[in-house]
Amino acid sequence: MLREHVEIFLSPDKGRGLRCKKNGPPIKAGTLIIEEDSYCFTLLEGQEEKRCHYCLEEQSPKLLLTCPKCLTAKYCDEDCQKAAHKEHLSECDGYRRLMKLPFHLRLLGRILYRQSTRKYEQGALGPLSDLCSHIEELKDSTELKTQLQKLSRNVNEDILPDRDQLEILYGKTTCNCFSIHNLDLGEIGIGMYPQAAMMNHSCKSNCVVTYRGPRLQIRALVDIQPGEEVYHSYAEKGHNTRERRDELSKYFFECQCSHCLDTDRDGTMMSVKCPSCRAQVKSNSNERYEKCSSCGYTDFSTEFYEDVEVYIQYADDVIHKPRVWATDILYTNTAKVRIQEAYIL
């Protein structure tokens, strides 16, 4: 685990966080701040038949080796199969049932199998011991009861801890896991990274998370000064404040970063071209368009709003669909032409 540039600190309002070392040099943009192997990870639904369950490389399903015992775990080759043997041994008997669960329960199940053979990892010194569980907020939810019942029916009974510990571990898994992306920025899995999970959120993040298989890397986006906190964004940065806060509600806080407090920023993000003069028109706090300040146009009809929704959805699809790479250039010419023809600036 690489963490030579940052240190852990405590703040009254946010608890633990990571910051550039007070007595160290600035962190330059592009610097590798953290490199961490996953404590535990799992593939998303639809990825388990075409990716190695150890290194996450995509392969033709016909070429993947299948575990002869569980008939579910798949590997690139014998090297990956041997490398995965120690971790897979404890879960092999229940792996087929586990992989039929939703991905967040798959991850929790894999953690339980791992901890069943490493009892010290359940205690106060375990790798997950410092993570917040938010169990107070989750305790009385019907969702918690339903999810844990589903998990209990699909894992071996002897790996289940007592109810209180299971609830805490569910909360830690739900609130601290990372989405794992491939090189095309498509989500392929989720994983637990205890060191990286100490970073707090800001919509105006100063670092970026990337992956090499299941290995996480965090690099500085800008220069970070000594004593300055290191942030990454838990939410989709292209969304407006309302959408980001809705997305962040599952972490049980309301973001107060500079982006969220900038009331004019959302209007700029949601601005459109005036249908009459093509000048910029910002939205109001209700995401509506009142009047073009350039030509005075006010006829923002129902059809106009419907068109805007179509173009926003199209742009969102372009951003999130798998990229097509050629000679290191991302080709989205068709998307550029379509968006230029739309109302969106």
What integer best gives the mean pLDDT of the chain?
A: 88
Q: List beta partners, residue 272.
A: 281, 344
- Number of domains making up the chain: 3
SS3 call for 334: helix
Indicate if 63 and 159 belong to the same structural domain: yes
What residue numbers bound the domain in which 332 lies?
Answer: 262-340
Condensed to tens digits (0 to 9), the pLDDT of residues 166-210 reads: 999 999 999 999 999 998 888 999 999 999 999 999 999 999 999
Helix (H, G, I), strand (E, B) or coil at 46: coil
* pLDDT classification of 324: cutoffs 50, 70, 90: very low
235/248 Cα distance (integer angstroms)? 7
Percent of the chain topping pLDDT 70 = 92
Distance CA 254, CA 19 (A): 21
Does 283 share its domain with 222? no
Question: Would 248 be classed as within a structural domain?
Answer: no
User: Is 318's pLDDT higher than 90?
Assistant: no
Which pLDDT tens digit goes with each residue over 41-77? 999 999 999 999 999 999 999 999 999 999 999 999 9
Same domain, 158 and 201: no
In the chain, pLDDT over 90 holds for what percent of residues? 66
Closest CA to 54 of 65, 62, 68, 70: 65
- DSSP secondary structure of 186-233: -EEEEEE-TTGGGSEE-SS-SEEEEEETTEEEEEESS-B-TTPBPEE-
Residue at 171 is within a domain: yes
In-domain check, residue 79: yes
DSSP string, 137-194: HHTT-HHHHHHHHHHHHTS-GGG---HHHHHHHHHHHHHHEEEEE-TTS-EEEEEE-T
SS3 (DSSP) at 343: coil
> What's the one-letter identity of residue 10?
L
Residue 184 falls within a domain, yes or no?
A: no
**Do 29 and 147 have their domain in common?**
no
154 found inside a domain: yes
pLDDT in tens, 131-144: 988 888 888 888 89
